[in-house]
Each structure stands twice: as structure tokens, then as C-alpha cells.
Amino acid sequence: MNDPYGTFVDSAVGKRLAKALGLPMPVQLRRHTPGAPLLEGPALVLGGTPAAEAAARLLTGWGVEVQTSRAESVKYAAVVACFDGIDTPAAIGETVLDLGGTLRQLATNSRVVTVAEDPEAASVAEDPAARAARQGITGLTRSLAHEMRAGGTANGIQLGDGVGLDAPGAAGALRFLLSGRSAYVSGQFLPVTTTAGRLPEDPDRPLAGKVAVVTGAARGIGAAIIRTLARDGATVVGVDVPAAGESLTAVVNELGGTALPLDITAEDAGARILEHCRSRHGRMDIVVHNAGITRDKMLANMDAARWDSVLAVNTLSQLRMNEAFLAEDAKDVVGEGLRIVTLASTSGIAGNRGQTNYAASKSGVMGLAAATAPLLAARGGTINAVAPGFIETEMTAKIPLLTREVGRRINSLSQGGTPVDVAEAIAFLVSDAAGGTNGNTLRVCGQAMMGA
């Protein structure tokens, strides 16, 4: 990654200067490596609630040393703070202050995970005190994420009605948020609204036996996604425009997958993907709608070609393909449990100057995911969106230096993310361990101030 500032503040002189001037001090993030332990140190579980008991059991099972009360002079790799069963904001304080007391004892690249019940759950729709308590946890978690140091993150799990932390989807979310797979995810929430899902037998091969289709796989984030899904055990199918055929073939050959040169805006794109999976692999379990384009212009200068092409590639093609994948005549290749992830963007959340077309297309896919979720749930599947922030790619390397520096620093981790960070979040969401999360958008943006 071309980040001269990051390299400078990592040096002895740079560190001293940055500290004296109060400049951002990014640290090398802990990223997932197969076979590595989940955490490199003990975890503290706070709250004494049923979720806290489940967290302690799960962590112990994952080989982590667990403590339930703070010991002086211990460096904690993670804290899990549980707020389940709380029905008034007056009851939050004790655990929060306990959590606050441990912050100076956190190791580099630590994790804080808050666990609470979902503020949107039907059971508290007419209970102001309980909803205030649950919603209060979101503000506290987001603020703490801004206060974390040295690569540390803070995120939350929101449990739906009747869902305990020991439900597979909740346990899967906990493991993801503690792991190096969530390196660039901070200040975010994973709502786990059902007890659906399954933890993998081998946490390093969660996608074993699955066939995964990734669009726009020839380069950039798409190439990282297809490599990550293959690493996690999936048989991969890469799709990209015929003009990118050579690089697409190079990527999929390296992974033992197959290539399908195809423009996804074609009317029959969905049918052609299904036919490829049927004839070459016999099934299709996962789809990642990653292909996307930008055609930036201020709205005053926008023309029909720029507007239409962005909407056609980024949103309309997905609507058409999903319809084909969910059709009755696709059932021979698309079995139960189809998992789809679509690529949104923080521009679609906060808006971005010069990007009315792109932002419309990206907020559009978040809506698409929310409204397709019930259709997939009825068949044991899920669809979620991932919204990347500033990711170090060829695209962002071309942004003028000053704008680029601002873009990559204005987040809680003071650095840009990598394509792998986006790929890891997607690999989690398409795994059965995320089976309890549906119709949601997960930001992978280091808690960018933009759209916070």
C-alpha cells in the first residue's frame, strides 16, 4: 500500500513528532491468517447476564482464556460487555463503568464487543424505557469506537426477540467481531434476528463444499473477494466483462475456479450464470454482486449516459439477476440457503459531491437487500449489503494527494482499508455462521466520519 505518512509515523522519529503534534497515529492492523489463534491474549467478559455466560462458554471453547472480573496488570485482547435483560437506561451504568475501567489495560489491536437486545425488536416497540436502554448501547458503542486506540475496534451485536448469544448466528457474529477478519470494521452493529445458521466444523474452511459466484472478479476488491472465498473453501466462479477476460482467467486459474466472461447488464445475465453453474459445478450457493462503476459529475453537468450506465450496472442488473436466481426454474441449481451479498458504499449512506448517480445506485442496493431479505428467508437464505469506505485500490490511488490523505485519515483507525478487509466481511456474511443476519448493511470503513 502506498501510504508514506503511515510509514513515517511508524518510525521512531515519526512517532515522537506525531504524538507531540497530536497527529493521527495509524498502527498495522491485525488481520486474519488461517491457523492463527482467535485472540492473542485473555478476554474479559462483563455483565454477569445470560449472554455473558454464553460468551464465556463460547470463548473458552475457542481456546481463549476468559476472566469475568478485571485483574490489575493484565493486558486484555478483548472485552465482551453484555447488557441483555436491561429494561431501563438506569441499569446500564454499572457495566459501562466497569468497561471504562479496563480501557487502559487493552492490548494493541484489541476488540470490544457490546451485546444487547435489538432496539428495533417488536417486543419493545411500545416500551420507551427498554427501547431507550437498548438504543443507548448504540450511542455508547459508537462513541467508544471513536475513543479506541492502537488499532482497537468497538462493535455491537443486537439480539432479536428469542435469540440468545449461543444461537449460531450470534456466536458467529461474536467470533467475526473478535477476529482479525473484522480489522477495518468499527462502530458497527450486527443484528442477529433469528436462530438460523450454523457454525462451521472447521473455522478456517467455513465455505467448504459451496459454489460461489463473484461479479467484477478480474481486479480490485472483486479479485480479493474471490481469493478470500476460495481460501475459505469455496469453489469459485469469476464473472467479468469479456474485455477483462485475460485477467479474469489468471485470477480464477490461480484458485482452481472457472471464469464466465459476461456483461452483467445483459438481459439474460442471470440465466447465463445459472447455466454456467449448472453445467460446470452442479449448484450455486453464494452470489457476491461486486461489479460496479463510477461516472462522477456534478448533477448540474450530469448527462443521461452517465446516469443510466451507473444505475444499469450497479443496481438494475442485480434486480434482474436476483429475480432469475429466485425463480422456480432455478431450483435445480439454487438449493435452499442461497446467500447473497451486494456491494454498497459509504457514499450511498452519507452522499458524496459529484456522485449523485453512484450514491443513488448504492443506497438503492441497500434498499434492494432489505426488500429481498424476506424472499430469501423463506428459502433459508440471506441477503446483506457491505458498504466499504476508503479502500486502498488503483481507483483511490488516483485521487489527488491532499484529498486522498483526508479520505484515508478521517476514520477511527486513521488509515485506509484494504480490499481484503472488505472481502473478509463478505466471506463472513456469505457463511452459514452469519445465517441469523438478513437484510442488513455492514459498513467496512474504519468508522469513517463520513456518513457516521
Known catalytic residue: 358?
yes
Is the CB of residue 387 less than 8 Å from the CB of residue 441?
yes
Which three cell numbers mark 248? 479474469
How near is the Cβ of 431 to ligand NAD at its closest, in Å?
A: 20
What residues does 237 pair with on adjacent strands?
213, 258
Closest CA to 47 of 26, 25, 69: 69
Closest CA to 266 of 215, 326, 303: 215
Instruction: Determine if 369 is a binding residue for ligand NAD (CB under 6 A).
Output: no
For residues 170 and 420, which CB has a smaller minimum distance to ligand NAD in the complex? 420
What residues does 341 pair with on adjacent strands?
288, 384
Instruction: Determine if 343 is a binding residue for ligand NAD (CB under 6 A).
Output: yes
d(CA 130, CA 80): 21
How near is the Cβ of 306 to ligand NAD at its closest, in Å?
A: 14
Instruction: Determine if 384 is a binding residue for ligand NAD (CB under 6 A).
Output: no
How near is the Cβ of 343 to ligand NAD at its closest, in Å?
A: 4
Segment near ligand NAD (CB under 6 A); pick from 79-87, 170-178, 328-336, 393-401: 393-401
Instruction: Please select the residue that binds ligand NAD; options are 173, 236, 291, 369, rule is CB under 6 A.
Output: 291
Instruction: Determine if 264 is a binding residue for ligand NAD (CB under 6 A).
Output: yes
For residues 140 and 255, which CB has a smaller minimum distance to ligand NAD in the complex? 255
d(CA 248, CA 215): 10
d(CA 197, CA 370): 18
How near is the Cβ of 290 to ligand NAD at its closest, in Å?
A: 5
For residues 144 and 422, which CB has a smaller minimum distance to ligand NAD in the complex? 422
Closest CA to 388 of 315, 448, 437: 448
DSSP state of 149: -
Instruction: Determine if 420 is a binding residue for ligand NAD (CB under 6 A).
Output: no
- Which of 5, 76, 184, 358 does the annotation list as catalytic? 358
Longest dimension (CA), the chain: 65
For residues 130 and 448, which CB has a smaller minimum distance to ligand NAD in the complex? 448
Which three cell numbers mark 187? 462502530
d(CA 319, CA 430): 19
For residues 224 and 333, which CB has a smaller minimum distance to ligand NAD in the complex? 224
Instruction: Please select the residue that binds ligand NAD; options are 14, 57, 265, 375, rule is CB under 6 A.
Output: 265
Instruction: Please select the residue that binds ligand NAD; options are 296, 396, 405, 451, rule is CB under 6 A.
Output: 396
Instruction: Determine if 218 is a binding residue for ligand NAD (CB under 6 A).
Output: yes
For residues 166 and 296, which CB has a smaller minimum distance to ligand NAD in the complex? 296
d(CA 155, CA 159): 13
Instruction: Please select the residue that binds ligand NAD; options are 132, 199, 241, 410, rule is CB under 6 A.
Output: 241
Instruction: Determine if 109 is a binding residue for ligand NAD (CB under 6 A).
Output: no
d(CA 68, CA 222): 41
| # residues near ligand NAD by CB under 6 A | 27
Neighbour order of strands in the sheet with 106-117: 66-67, 43-46, 76-82, 106-117, 153-159, 189-192
What residues does 441 pair with on adjacent strands?
385
How near is the Cβ of 426 to ligand NAD at its closest, in Å?
A: 10
Instruction: Please select the residue that binds ligand NAD; options are 153, 188, 290, 412, rule is CB under 6 A.
Output: 290
Q: Which residues contact 256 (CB under 8 A, 6 or more apart)?
A: 230, 235
Instruction: Please select the residue that binds ligand NAD; options are 220, 233, 337, 381, rule is CB under 6 A.
Output: 220
d(CA 388, CA 220): 13
How near is the Cβ of 178 to ligand NAD at its closest, in Å?
A: 25
Place of cell 448504540: 138
Instruction: Determine if 363 is a binding residue for ligand NAD (CB under 6 A).
Output: no
d(CA 269, CA 323): 11
Is the CB of residue 383 less than 8 Å from the CB of residue 437?
no
Instruction: Determine if 233 is a binding residue for ligand NAD (CB under 6 A).
Output: no
For residues 114 and 393, which CB has a smaller minimum distance to ligand NAD in the complex? 393
Instruction: Determine if 313 is a binding residue for ligand NAD (CB under 6 A).
Output: yes
* Element containing residue 234 per DSSP (H, E): none
Instruction: Determine if 388 is a binding residue for ligand NAD (CB under 6 A).
Output: yes
Contact residues for ligand NAD, defined by CB under 6 A:
215-216, 218-222, 240-241, 244, 263-265, 290-293, 313, 343, 345, 388, 390-391, 393-396
Active site residues: 358
